[in-house]
Structures are given as structure tokens and as C-alpha cells.
Amino acid sequence: MDSLRERLARGDVLVGDGAWGTMLMARGLAPGRPPESLVLERPEAVREVALLYLDAGAELLTTDTFGGSPLCLGSWGLGERAEEINARAVSIAREAAAGRALVQASVGPTGRILAPLGDTEPAEVGAAFARQIGAQARAGADAICIETMTDLAEMLLAVRAAHEVAPDLPVIATMTFDPTPRGFFTMMGVSVEQAARALTAAGVDVVGSNCGNGIDRMVAIARELRRWTSLPLAIRSNAGLPESRGAEVVYPETPELMAERIPALLDAGVSIVGGCCGTTPDHVRAFRRAVDARKLTSCPPP
Amino acid sequence: MDVVKSIAEAIEQGDNDAVRRLTAEAIAAGRAPGAILEEGLVAGMRVVGERFRTHEIFLPEVLLAARAMQAGLGLLRPLLLQDAVPTAGKIVVGTVRGDLHDIGKNLVGILLQGAGFSVIDLGKDVAPERFVDAAVAEGAPLIGMSTLLTTTMKGMRDVVELLRQRGLEGKIKTIIGGAPVSAEFAREIGADAYAFDAASAVERTRALLAPA
């Protein structure tokens, strides 16, 4: 199978997968337990979700390691098992993919605020990312996907860790932006321009955004990113923002609605399209169709 | 400029040393501790909260302002107790059971303190019994609950239920907030209020704790 770098260099568009937490909950993840614990306790549930996304047409599969840094796992008494959890999660994804898809190892934020603003030393966070990413790389991940970041300093610690412990792997770096009257900023005040410039300078392979927004705002973010970087872009959109219907939480954007906006994302230069919170295998199937339809129309007629 | 007004400005700028120095100056000049609190620290944090609400500033600036506020409050607290200056009210806050996210809850706590409330922060992953026991022990008439996860929202219902079981319904009120919850959800579980963001949490808390 071609590597991610080869495919991106060729100008391919890759379809990613969708939400994981809700899918794992539907398969018995107890409320308030970390999704990563299923890697040890119920690997078959993790495999089942992976297979659903692969069957829907995902060719870039995410691992169940979002909260897999020893700093996050430590809150559950699982810090010592961080290497084991990350390695097993990558193995599960690789076995499920069986050559049909590349595996991007997820790295989420630690949830800490870095000193001097907060109480966690940057070196501690960097070391935690290095342990997590090292284990992912040794287990055979095809790419490192650092996602949902809001603090540029924490993002860059993860990028640096990836470059140190997994120098051969491509890094996908995506941040989460909120709309403000002055444009998109992360919770920590990072603009799209700042993110794009800093991540490009840091030598990542792909920059982008995931979570926090529905598809329309993601199109706007993609266009803004494209102004500030020539790197391939990744967008993993929520199915809108959660709405509460009684005791249920519902994400309003349907597969059809989101798929309609895929051409706009591709026009903005996005190379990886996938889903975040609220998306399902049906959403991924619709993304797949939209991306494939685009390939057909962009070929010259015979 | 008046020293108390300068305190408010130093809070807005997140200048911890200036807030400490100016608060000491105001105390030495014999200004009433209640006025230093209200017109200095609280006034400064009100501006900070409003700028955050309108996205003029972001979390780092709020955290810096909060630290500056704490510097002033540290000097002021013994005097406020001595003068028996009443706080705006007492509230117990925490992130519900199973949820380890506390950035949102901390922010609400900061702005509540900044608005003059006495905040008892139980931290994260707080069991329903701990919320209720702490509110009873502290004599707090309000429990504020936060969650970021759809998987842990149920913890909020458990607290409301527990209050009902213990006959504390109406005596101890509840306010909820966090990404997955909404006004409908608050109504559905019988919480007394929902706050969309940290700034509205302060407004709602003020309304809930206002003397009838």
C-alpha cells in the first residue's frame, strides 16, 4: 500500500473515519469510563467500530488513543500501562485495516494548562507525548494525528515529540477553533493564521482542524488555512453542534447535508476529509461517495 | 487615579504584582475592605468576564486576571472576615462523576469568585453524595455542576435526585453547564438553571441567590 506521504504528494484525497466515543458507548463503554480502557478490556468492540468505518469506505483509520497519554491515563490509574494501551490500539487498527487503510494514531490534548499560566511543566507534557507516540510508532502506526488542540504550545510539544521519537512518520496536526466576531480562534486565543504558520514552520505534513464546528464553518476554516499554508489540509467536522432532545443528545447534520459540502472542502484544497463528534459510518459512506463522484467528474471524458 | 480604580485596571491587565501592591496601599489608606473588593477586584473581573464573553480576550488572559485577583483577595480575605462583610452567596461547584475535564468549571469558579461569591470547588469526578454533603456542610444554597461529556451528563440528574430524596429540593438549588447540556436538559432533570457560558453562569447564580 502506498504511504500517506506518497498519496498526498500525488494529490489524492483520503476519506477518514468518524466519531468513536459514541460508537464505543453503544458497544458497552460505561458512562464515565475512558474509551481507551476498552483496548484492554473489550478489544473486540474497538475492532467492530474500526470495521464499520472501513466498510463505509474509510481509508485512514483512527486509533482509540485520543486520551492515551500517560498524563490522561494516569487519572484512571492506567498511566503505567500507557505504552501497552497505545501499542494495542494501533495493533487492533492495523489488523482491522488489513492493508485496506492507513492507520493514524490519535494524540489528544492532556487537559492540563501549561506553566507559567497553569500548573503543568511543559517538559512533563512533552515527555508524556513522547511515551505515547513512541509506543504508537513501534506498534506500526502509519501517521501520527495530533488533534483537538487549542494551545499552540502544547501542540508544538506533541509535534516535537513525534519528530523525535517517530522521525519517519508523517504528522497530521489539527486544532479546534471557535467562531468569534474577529474570525476563528481557539479557546486559548490562537488564530487560524498563527496555527497554520507555526505548524508549517514546525515541519508537520498536514495541518487542519477537527471538532468544535459543523461542516459550513469547517469550509470557512479550510479556506482560511489555505491562505496561510501550502501544506495538505485535513478537516474532520462535527455533525453540527450537539442539541438536546429530552435526555438524548443529537448532532443535527445528516450524512447528505455534510456530503453536499464536500466539494467546497475539496475546492479549498482539503486532502483528508473525515468526521468528528456526531458522525457515523453513514456519514463516512456519504463522504466516500462525494469524494468518488468528484474523482469521476475531474477525469477527462474518454 | 483612585487606588481602588487602579486595582480594577491592574486586574484587567492581569498584573499580579500591581494588584497586590495597590490592594496593600488601599488597605493602608484605610479604605473599607468591602469597597476594595467590590469596586476593585470584582469590578476588574467583571470587565474581564465581559471581554471573554465577547471573544475580545481568551482563556490565558482570564487566567492571568484570576491570578491577579487571588493576589488581592489573599490580602483582603482576613479583613473581610474580621468585618464580617457578607459574600454575594455561597456555591459548591464541581465536574460530575466520571468526567475529568475541569477547564470550564475552573473558569466558572474564577468568574463567580470575581463576582464576589464564595466558591467551594470540589474538583473533578465528583460523586453525587459529595456534592450534596458539601453543600449541606458548608451551608451553600446552590450546587453548580459541569460536564464536557455526553457520557457523564447523567451525574447531574443523580444530584438532583439525591437532593429530592433527602428532602433538600428547593432548599439547595442546582445550576448546570457544559458542552452537551442545554436549557431543555436542565428542565428535563429538574435542575433550577442552565448556563450557556461562564459569564451567564454568574448572571444565573446572581438571580438564584438573590434574596427573595
Average pLDDT over residues A265-269: 96
A298: pLDDT confidence band, cut at 50, 70 and 90? low
> Which residue does chain B place closest to A28, by CA atoms?
B151
Q: Write the burial class of residue B170 (CB in 10 Å: 0-12 exposed, 13-18 middle, 19+ buried).
A: exposed
Q: Range with the lowest mean pLDDT among A19-33, A57-71, B60-74?
A: A19-33
Q: Return d(Cα B202, Cα B195) in angstroms, integer.
A: 8
Q: What is the mean pLDDT of chain B?
A: 91
The reported pLDDT for the residue numbered A247 is 63
Q: Does B17 touch chain A (CB under 8 A)?
A: no
Statement to judge: residues B192 and B96 lie in one domain? yes
Statement to judge: residues B116 and B49 lie in one domain? no
Residues of B in contact with A75 (CB under 8 A): 100, 125
A152: pLDDT confidence band, cut at 50, 70 and 90? very high
Q: Does B140 touch chain A (CB under 8 A)?
A: no
Q: Write the burial class of residue A257 (CB in 10 Å: 0-12 exposed, 13-18 middle, 19+ buried).
A: middle
A126: pLDDT confidence band, cut at 50, 70 and 90? very high
**pLDDT surpassing 60 at residue A301:** no
Q: What is the residue range of B148's domain?
A: 90-209
**pLDDT surpassing 90 at residue B86:** no
ipTM: 0.84
Q: Does B105 touch chain A (CB under 8 A)?
A: no
**pLDDT surpassing 70 at residue A246:** no
A120–chain B nearest CA distance, Å: 13
A218: pLDDT confidence band, cut at 50, 70 and 90? very high
The reported pLDDT for the residue numbered A300 is 52
Q: Return d(Cα B174, Cα B91) in angstroms, integer.
A: 9
Q: Return d(Cα B95, Cα B149) in angstroms, integer.
A: 10
Q: B68 near B19, Cβ under 8 Å? A: yes
Statement to judge: residues B60 and B94 lie in one domain? no
The reported pLDDT for the residue numbered A26 is 86
Q: Do B184 and A246 touch (CB under 8 A)?
A: yes
Q: Does B146 touch chain A (CB under 8 A)?
A: no
**pLDDT surpassing 70 at residue B151:** yes
Statement to judge: residues B27 and B53 lie in one domain? yes
B80: pLDDT confidence band, cut at 50, 70 and 90? confident
Q: Return d(Cα B104, Cα B121) in angstroms, integer.
A: 12
Nearest neighbour of A32 by CB, restricted to B152, B185, B188: B152
Q: Which of B22, B52, B82 is the last residue of a domain?
A: B82
Q: What are phi and psi of A111, to 5 degrees?
A: 80, 0
* Rg of chain A over all Cα atoms, to the nearest angstrom: 18
Question: What CATH number is attached to the domain comprising A185?
Answer: 3.20.20.330
Q: Which of B24, B56, B82 is the last residue of a domain?
A: B82
Statement to judge: residues B94 and B170 lie in one domain? yes
B154: pLDDT confidence band, cut at 50, 70 and 90? confident
Q: A44 near A28, Cβ under 8 Å? A: no
Statement to judge: residues B130 and B59 lie in one domain? no
Statement to judge: residues B115 and B74 lie in one domain? no
Q: pLDDT tens across A193-215, in order?
A: 999 999 999 999 999 999 999 99
Statement to judge: residues B108 and B204 lie in one domain? yes
**pLDDT surpassing 90 at residue A96:** yes
> Which residue does chain A place closest to B67, by CA atoms?
A117
Closest CA to A119 of A128, A111, A127: A111
Quote the percentage of chain A above a pLDDT of 90.
87
Q: How many CB pairs under 8 A join A and B?
A: 72
Q: What are phi and psi of A172, to 5 degrees?
A: -105, 125
The reported pLDDT for the residue numbered B190 is 94
Q: pLDDT tens across A48-78, in order?
A: 999 999 999 999 999 999 999 999 999 889 9
**pLDDT surpassing 90 at residue A257:** yes
Q: Does B150 touch chain A (CB under 8 A)?
A: yes
Give the mutation candidate from B51, B150, B152 for the A interface (greatest A CB count, under 10 A): B150
The reported pLDDT for the residue numbered B27 is 96
Q: pLDDT tens across B126-137, in order?
A: 999 999 999 999
Kindly list the distances between the CA atom of residue A292 and the CA atoms of A12, A158, A262, in Å, as whole numbers in the listed order: 11, 33, 11
Sign of CA dihedral A60, A87, A68, A3: negative
Chain A residues within 8 A (CB-CB) of chain B? 21-22, 25, 29, 31-33, 72, 75, 111, 113, 117-118, 178, 180-182, 185-189, 242-247, 249
pTM (predicted TM-score)? 0.88
Q: Return d(Cα B56, Cα A270) in angstroms, integer.
A: 30
B181: pLDDT confidence band, cut at 50, 70 and 90? confident
The reported pLDDT for the residue numbered B199 is 82
Q: What is the residue range of A255's domain?
A: 4-298
A272 strand-pairing partners: A14, A234
**pLDDT surpassing 90 at residue B53:** no
Statement to judge: residues B149 and B114 lie in one domain? yes
Q: Do B59 and A185 touch (CB under 8 A)?
A: no
B161–chain A nearest CA distance, Å: 15
Q: Do A111 and B179 touch (CB under 8 A)?
A: no
Q: Which of B44, B63, B82 is the last residue of a domain?
A: B82
Residues of B in contact with A188 (CB under 8 A): 58-60
Average pLDDT over residues B119-124: 94
The reported pLDDT for the residue numbered B182 is 87
A249: pLDDT confidence band, cut at 50, 70 and 90? confident
Q: Range with the lowest mean pLDDT among A206-210, A234-238, B184-188?
A: B184-188
Q: Do B55 and A111 touch (CB under 8 A)?
A: no
The reported pLDDT for the residue numbered A52 is 98
Average pLDDT over residues B159-170: 95
Q: B134 near B122, Cβ under 8 Å? A: yes
Nearest neighbour of B58 by CB, restricted to A188, A243, A249: A188
The reported pLDDT for the residue numbered A299 is 56
Give the mutation candidate from B103, B106, B148, B152 for the A interface (greatest A CB count, under 10 A): B103
Statement to judge: residues B72 and B146 lie in one domain? no
> Which residue does chain B place closest to A278, by CA atoms?
B150
A72–chain B nearest CA distance, Å: 9
Closest CA to A65 of A104, A33, A31: A104
The reported pLDDT for the residue numbered B161 is 96
A195–chain B nearest CA distance, Å: 15
Statement to judge: residues B34 and B67 lie in one domain? yes
Question: What CATH number is attached to the domain comprising B50?
Answer: 1.10.1240.10
Kindly list the distances between the CA atom of residue A229 and the CA atoms of A8, A55, A203, A212, B162, in Å, as whole numbers in the listed order: 15, 33, 11, 21, 53
A153: pLDDT confidence band, cut at 50, 70 and 90? very high
- b or e along B108-140 (b: 16 or more beta carbons within 10 Å of the residue's beta carbon)? bbbbbbbbbbbbbbbebbbbbebbbebbeeeeb
**pLDDT surpassing 80 at residue A217:** yes
Q: Do B54 and A249 touch (CB under 8 A)?
A: no
Kindly list the distances between the CA atom of residue A56 and the CA atoms of A217, A288, B157, in Å, as whole numbers in the listed order: 24, 8, 36
Q: Return d(Cα B146, Cα B122) in angstroms, integer.
A: 11
> Which residue does chain A place closest to B59, by CA atoms?
A188
Q: What is the mean pLDDT of chain A?
A: 95
Q: How many domains does chain B have?
A: 2
**pLDDT surpassing 90 at residue A84:** yes
Average pLDDT over residues B7-11: 97
A105 strand-pairing partners: A144
**pLDDT surpassing 80 at residue A281:** yes
Q: How many domains does chain A have?
A: 1
A239 or A302, higher pLDDT: A239
Statement to judge: residues B50 and B99 lie in one domain? no
Average pLDDT over residues B31-35: 92
